[in-house]
Structure 1
């Protein structure tokens, strides 16, 4: 498959000359755009593999700004073509990280070399980015597994007021006394402990405890009433119409 190149150049003679050069080198031309509006349209519809961008377009439109807009639309290598060799212009162009900067007039081989280098560099960057994403994903999966394994190891969780929660047998203990928790009470307590110090929204509690099933407002209040009978009065704080919260520090053994 031929490499597709978009030419953004307001001078038609120069644009056609570049098109002929690129065609002779075996590239496919995605289109010629004399201004930013058409350049953005062609970049998003023709999906070129590379963009050759003149810095000064029709009505003195700024090609650097257009290049920046294209970069926001999609990831594509951009090479600037310009007769402007002022440091200020070069510095502005560098800020958007182009894959090349060619001063006019240029030799045909210079253009081809710049294009091939840009395409190769872009390909390597894409591979590197994909690898980084893959590594991050693997690390997240590994961390998730570690967290689950650690949670399994942490059988006893020391809560405030001297209470201890048995994460394996779903028991609440205090001064040698054991309070057995049913499935929903256990889910509720585990969720609040996991988010200790933070207010857990009512919607999140209902979704977690009842596995996404719709329940009436009274169901959570009834559940909260039952579990509070087994805990100190201020152990679970209610934030009206917002959620519930366990305050204080705890440690895991």
Structure 2
């Protein structure tokens, strides 16, 4: 697919020459704008892959300010075009982190090279940003897992709604007192707490609570119903056709 380029240039002859050059190099020119308002409109509606931005636009409008405004709404590399080689102008342009800067007049090969470098660099930066996001997400997931495992290894685990689980004695506490549960209810709770934050399958629960004894399919449902009736609604979550879990 051809890469889409928006030209923001107030001198029509220069803009048309740039357009012809880009088409010759097999790019798709999605529009030409001579001012900031038109440039913003085309950037939003055409979603270009790259923007060639003249620093001085129609009626002496500031192209750098226009580029900054576009950057706030569109993620695309910007390459500046200018006949102004003053240090202050260059410094201002650099501050918005463009992907290129071409001084007029320029040769066709210079334009082609600047566009190709900008597109490649932008693509690599996007890929790197995505990889960094994935690493951060994985790191957060790992930290959460470690936090759960650390909690599970401690004697007293703070749960929702003010409940506390005593790992050493395998009992649930509420308001400083042992929460009254029947034997199988306590056994079921103990298994879920050993696997805090993880879904425990129906088969594993049945095997643990009934010590491998074969029971009817309604036995666990009945036991779980009685236990959940004694606790807050979201204390034990059901995962349809898979199992149950307790989350911190």
Question: Given the two structures, how large is their TM-score scaled by the length of structure 1?
Answer: 0.66
Match for residue 16 of structure 1? 16
Match for residue 100 of structure 2? 100
* CA distance in structure 1 between the aligned counterparts of 2:48 and 2:171, rounded to whole angstroms: 61
Q: How many residue pairs are counted as aligned between the two chains?
A: 179
Q: Is the 1:166–1:172 contact (alpha carbons within 8 Å) kept by the matching residues of 2?
A: no
Deviant stretches of 4+, over 3 Å: 208-212
Q: Is the 1:51–1:79 contact (alpha carbons within 8 Å) kept by the matching residues of 2?
A: yes
**TM superposition shift of 1:171:** 2.7
**TM superposition shift of 1:211:** 3.4
Q: Does 1:181 align with 2:201?
A: no
- Aligned pairs for 1:99-178 (under 5 A) are 99-156=99-156, 166=166, 168-171=170-173
Per-residue CA distance 1:186-228 (angstroms, 9 max, x = gap): xxxxxxxxxxxxxxxxxxxxxx95439xxxxxxxxxxxxxxxx
In structure 2, runs of 5+ residues without a counterpart are: 159-163, 182-230, 236-248
**TM superposition shift of 1:166:** 2.0
Question: Given the two structures, how large is their TM-score scaled by the length of structure 2?
Answer: 0.67
Alpha-carbon RMSD across the aligned residues, in angstroms, is 2.3
* CA distance in structure 2 between the aligned counterparts of 1:37 and 1:44, rounded to whole angstroms: 11
- Aligned pairs for 1:1-253 (under 5 A) are 1-156=1-156, 166=166, 168-171=170-173, 179-181=177-179, 209-211=232-234
* CA distance in structure 1 between the aligned counterparts of 2:98 and 2:26, rounded to whole angstroms: 23
* CA distance in structure 1 between the aligned counterparts of 2:24 and 2:156, rounded to whole angstroms: 74
